[in-house]
Structures are given as structure tokens and as C-alpha cells.
Chains A and B, each alone.
Chain A
Amino acid sequence: DAGITQSPRYKITETGRQVTLMCHQTWSHSYMFWYRQDLGHGLRLIYYSAAADITDKGEVPDGYVVSRSKTENFPLTLESATRSQTSVYFCASSDPDRGRGYGYTFGSGTRLTVV
């Protein structure tokens, strides 16, 4: 199916464990993003990628690692999960060639709970 898919939808993990959240898009959009959503903070940018093998930090990158070996995939890894990383994580993609008014397309999110 065309679109942007995140997996898993829900995840519970223990403090100190490594967790990887997956994001896959089918449009070959060059830009991909990871945001976390927390009450009172809206969405905050964790990492973004302008193309395969090009990634850069956002506002809140500490404790996270990303990679982008293929255009369509942009996994987010929590190297050693902490309770403060309990959040809803959203992946998004964007095609800058469509101009200033083109927004993002978001996945459905992953709700991560760290216990």
C-alpha cells in the first residue's frame, strides 16, 4: 500500500533496553523526519534526513540514533531507553520539489512506554 508506515504501533520496554522504531515510505520522498509528541510540548523534532546517508539532529536528539541506508526507510533507535523517552513517536516524509506549500505526510505513530 502507498503511504508511510510505522511499526510497531505500541511498544512497552524496560529501562536500559535498546529499541528500534521503524518507518517506511513508498513515495521516494527525499526528506524524512522523526518527532516525539508529549503533552504540553506539541511535536519536537528528534532527527531528520535530507536523503539516503544524510542525517542531522533536531531539537531533542540525545539518546537517539538514526540511519538511512535506503531512501524509503528511516529507523529510529533508542540505544538505552529511559523513562523520559516514554512518548508517542511520529515519522513523516516530505518532497521539497513540490514547493513551499507542500507539507508533510505523517505516519500513524508509535506509542512507546518505558517502564
Chain B
Amino acid sequence: EDQVTQSPEALRLQEGESSSLNCSYTVSGLRGLFWYRQDPGKGPEFLFTLYSAGEEKEKERLKATLTKKESFLHITAPKPEDSATYLCAVQPNTGNQFYFGTGTSLTVIP
């Protein structure tokens, strides 16, 4: 069964304290893995797409990496405005659906 698990559920960081969010997945074959940022009461905002193990992508303080079983979203020197819920999704090789994790709620304290 295709499945996505994100950890931790919640994370509190001091401003400037770097950390990583984890997204573990089980799919028959991976078409793509996607990271999103979601602010309260808003739709998810696209961050990154990763397609194959070893791939990395960066945007400002965020860096996403991918292995055959998991993806990490690394946050370097976070700022309070990085506070949000970060969602991970996968699209398996079979079918046209996307499977989402429950997200990691990140709070960055000034």
C-alpha cells in the first residue's frame, strides 16, 4: 500500500537553529516527491519536486534531498517567517493519484 509518513509532527526551533524534517514513503515506484508549505487557512504552496534518489534542490534557507525510501527538508538558520506546516506528497508510478503525509508543524521562535 502506498504510504507517506512525516516526522516529527511538530517542531519548535529558535531562530537560527538549523534542523531537518523527514518524509518516509512506501510506493511501488516513484514518479515524483513533492514538498509544500502551508500557512494556516491557506492552500499548500509548492516548494520542490524531486524525481530520483540523490537529487537535491535548494531555495533560500530550504534544501530538499531524496533517497530511495525518504526525503529530508533541511532548514538552515530559520527565521520566524518560516513558521508553517510543511507537507510531503508522492505520486507513484501506477495511477494518477497523489498521497500526502500529515505534515510537520514548524514554529520558529525569535
A and B assemble together? no
Binding site for B on A (CB under 8 A): none
